[in-house]
Amino acid sequence: MSKVYTILLADDDPDYLFQVAFYLRKAGFEVMAVESQAEAEQVIAKMKPDMAVFDLMMESDDSGFILCYKLKRKYPEVPVILATAVSRETGITFGLSGGQDREWIRADLYLEKGVRPEQLEQEIRKLLKI
């Protein structure tokens, strides 16, 4: 019997949240889908997910960064993906290739929203080493 991995998915767009959660559940993951930074913080306080996928902008423009920081402080080994449309919406770009960005962003991977579900699943499996 193989392990079922739990993914914490936080996004304030209910349609995106539903679609991604649906696909990941179909792919065999257990998904805790929440619609806000506050809800995600409650989950982090009660349990350790195997993986997290956070939207960058929820209640505030830096919700995803804050969640990354809080999750990594409590569970440094849990991989985090930031999935966001910030570059498309604002023109601001950033990445995780430079050491300085990686130091303050704290995510393991940054993906632009619009990523195909299959690609997201592939990146999750790569980070979980499964």
- Edge-to-edge strand list for the sheet holding 51-54: 30-34, 6-10, 51-54, 80-84, 109-112
- Which pLDDT tens digit goes with each residue over 15-57? 999 999 999 999 999 999 999 999 999 999 999 999 999 998 8
- Which pLDDT tens digit goes with each residue over 50-60? 999 999 888 88
Domains of the chain listed by start with CATH number = 6-128 (3.40.50.2300)
Percent of the chain with pLDDT strictly greater than 70: 83
What average pLDDT is seen over the chain? 85
Q: How confident is the model at residue 105 (pLDDT cuts 50, 70, 90)?
A: low
Distances (CA, A) of 72 to 8, 18, 55, 69: 13, 25, 16, 5
**What is the average pLDDT across 107-114?**
86
